[in-house]
Amino acid sequence: GRLVDAERPILDARLPDGSRVGVMPPPAARAGACMSIRRFPKERLTVDRLLAIGALTPTCASFLSACVVGKRNVVVAGGTGSGKTSMLNALSSFVPEGERILVLEDSSELQLQQEHTVYMESIPPDARGRGAVTIRDLLRASLRMRPDRIVVGECRGGEALDLIQAMTSGHGGSLSTVHATYPHDTLHRLETLCLMSDVELPLSAMRAQIASAVNVIVQTSRMNDGSRKITHVAECLGLDEGGHYRLEMLFEWKQSGVDAKSGRVLGTLHPTGNLPTFVEEVAGAGLSLPPEMMR
């Protein structure tokens, strides 16, 4: 039901089986019409499956579970094809069953396991430029639907500011993904996306809101052997005296080498020894951090 023509030269949509499709006709595609289809495995990537393939460790999984159940705002960051959406899908499995979740996406990809989930998808304008529904529109509408959690499939524009506002206005436990290479880049990327909105805020006020809203950053990366792993888990501690973001690394990936026969990347994701600032809040909620972190 989506059009691609001279007026709309780029098509981003999904097929009935959930595959993502991108179409670009000439002259934007110089050598002829280009179509790419991203297919997803029929089997959902659960936390157990991610543990089996070495994308994260039991210690890290236990900590992220405490973060999600304890309603920390989590942003999953990484490059294209680094497994951000799969990681977000897996993290959502930690959300308690009784909570009402609103999922907002440009093209629907997420498949949450909770029953009480409302899926919403943006709508492009028609041939006359009417009827468009953007992620920002969906986000504003979702705040009137009494959500316990808001999940934004991917922040790529001015809707980032609305998400930050929602995170700081009582909607804890929100989840989203952002294109960024390192945890520090994630916060600056969010800053840039917020500047793309039509709200003119002083940079200092915007930084203060971002630093207050984002609690935990989960950094994913695609390794040279094609495997996808969590490389960093960081906590945002707010701003320092100079107005710069303060991050504390809680988990880091250390590469130890490459297997000579298979070419597989070798390494481990281990706790850094730093404890998050919300240890007491986690304990107050009847949860506990993994013993490896406490050591």
Per-residue pLDDT of 163-201, as tens digits, reads 888 888 777 889 999 999 999 999 999 999 998 888 888
Residue whose C-alpha is closest to residue 173's, from 72, 95, 100: 72
What is the DSSP-derived secondary structure letter of residue 279? H
Distance CA 268, CA 67 (A): 21
CB 155 within 8 Å of CB 190: yes
Phi/psi for 33 (5° steps) reads -55, 135
Which residue is it, tokens 């792993």? 229
Tens-level pLDDT at each residue, the chain (295 residues):
778 887 788 888 888 887 889 999 988 888 999 999 988 777 777 889 889 888 889 999 999 999 999 999 999 999 888 888 889 988 989 999 889 999 988 877 788 878 889 999 888 777 777 888 888 888 888 888 988 999 888 888 888 888 888 888 777 889 999 999 999 999 999 999 998 888 888 888 899 999 999 999 999 999 988 889 999 999 999 999 988 999 999 999 998 888 888 888 888 999 999 999 998 888 888 888 888 887 7
What residue type is 120 in one-letter code?
M
For the chain, the distance separating the N- and C-terminal CA atoms, rounded to the nearest angstrom, is: 56
Q: How many residues appear in the chain?
A: 295
Distance CA 276, CA 288 (A): 12
CA 107, 112, 115, 116: dihedral to nearest 10 degrees? -60
State the alpha helices, DSSP H only, in 76-214: 84-92, 135-142, 159-167, 183-195, 203-213
